[in-house]
Amino acid sequence: MARSRAAYEYTEAEDKSMRLGFLLIAAGLLSLLGLGCCWLRPALQERGGGGSANCTVLAVRQLGERFACTFSCGAACRGTARYPCLQVLVRTSRSAAPALLHEDERQLRTNPKCSYIPPCARDDQENSENVTYKQKYWKEKVGSQPFTCYFNQHLRPDDVMLKRTHDETVLLHCFLWPVVTFLVGVLIVVLTICARSLAVRAEAIKKKKHL
């Protein structure tokens, strides 16, 4: 009875290992599919047809128009404030036409008309001061010094980005971790099958010795 009970517990442990392995395999495949549809493909589309260039500031100006932003002052405290629109016009080494500079792709999607969105504060005056500080930075500290910017002629020919949201590191992690999860699942399944096969062979050899 004790021997059959031990064999039953060992088989149950193997079944749990197999289920864990198949679960990791499924999770890895679903993660690859989900990231490919929701993240990796849009990121590659943004990168496709794009590249880097040298940018030089042409003009820095504030528009009279103000835009709304949402601030948070606690779990149940939210409100709306406003900030002025700052535009930084640049010339790229790829084109003589002026382009509007943006912080990154996320800022471009949030407000394509402006170059900078300040951290939203409750006080409109504080938001205006943050925008003015950024305006002075581009006028006085950057000035006519060239800097690296990024563009995409297919999606946004009239806009350039100061940095990319979807850089090589992000794309690598999007692909790496689902693959690692998949491979770990495959490894668990293979090791479990090998262990079961070795156990069966060992039991067969043991029975032959007793005959």
Q: Domain check: are 174 and 99 in the same one?
A: no
Task: Tell whether the model's pLDDT for residue 124 goes beyond 80.
Answer: yes
Q: Domain check: are 158 and 171 in the same one?
A: no
- Is residue 117 domain-resident? yes
Q: Domain check: are 86 and 123 in the same one?
A: yes
Over the chain, what is the mean pLDDT?
81
| Domain boundaries, position 133 | 50-165
Task: Tell whether the model's pLDDT for residue 28 goes beyond 50.
Answer: yes
Per-residue pLDDT, averaged over 29-33, amounts to 81
For residue 130, what are the CA distances in angstroms to 59, 70, 79, 104?
Answer: 18, 16, 18, 18
Residue % of the chain over a pLDDT of 70:
80
Q: Domain check: are 131 and 69 in the same one?
A: yes
Q: Domain check: are 119 and 187 in the same one?
A: no
- Is residue 151 domain-resident? yes
DSSP string, 51-115: EEEEEEEEEEEEEEEEEEEEEEEETTEEEEEEEEEEEEEEEETTEEEEEEEES-HHHHHH-TT-S
Quote the pLDDT of residue 45.
52
Give how many domains the chain has, as a whole number.
2
Q: Domain check: are 72 and 176 in the same one?
A: no
Q: Which is more confident, 68 or 77?
A: 68
Residue % of the chain over a pLDDT of 90:
28
Q: Domain check: are 114 and 191 in the same one?
A: no
- Is residue 17 domain-resident? no
Q: Compute the distance between CA of residue 87 and CA of residue 22 in angstroms, rounded to an integer.
A: 53
Q: Which is more confident, 61 or 15?
A: 61
Reported as a single tens digit per residue, the pLDDT across 155-207 is 677 889 888 765 556 666 677 788 888 899 999 989 888 888 887 787 777 77
Task: Tell whether the model's pLDDT for residue 47 goes beyond 90.
Answer: no
Task: Tell whether the model's pLDDT for residue 12 goes beyond 90.
Answer: no
Q: Domain check: are 158 and 177 in the same one?
A: no
- Is residue 185 domain-resident? yes
- Is residue 115 domain-resident? yes
Q: Domain check: are 142 and 74 in the same one?
A: yes
* Model pTM score: 0.58
Lowest-confidence pick of 9-13, 26-30, 44-48, 100-104: 44-48
Task: Tell whether the model's pLDDT for residue 153 goes beyond 70.
Answer: no
Name the band, by pLDDT with cuts 50, 70 and 90, for residue 67: very high
Task: Tell whether the model's pLDDT for residue 132 goes beyond 90.
Answer: yes
- Is residue 25 domain-resident? no
Quote the pLDDT of residue 83.
94
Q: Domain check: are 157 and 88 in the same one?
A: yes
Q: Compute the distance between CA of residue 165 and CA of residue 31 in angstroms, rounded to an integer.
A: 20
Q: Domain check: are 92 and 149 in the same one?
A: yes
Quote the pLDDT of residue 144.
83
Q: Tokens 């989900």 appear where?
A: 34
Buried b (16+ CB within 10 A) or exposed e, 101-119: bbbbbebbeeeeebbbbbe
Q: Domain check: are 111 and 59 in the same one?
A: yes
Q: Compute the distance between CA of residue 29 and CA of residue 127 in angstroms, rounded to an integer.
A: 45
Quote the pLDDT of residue 2.
42
- Is residue 35 domain-resident? no
- Is residue 120 domain-resident? yes
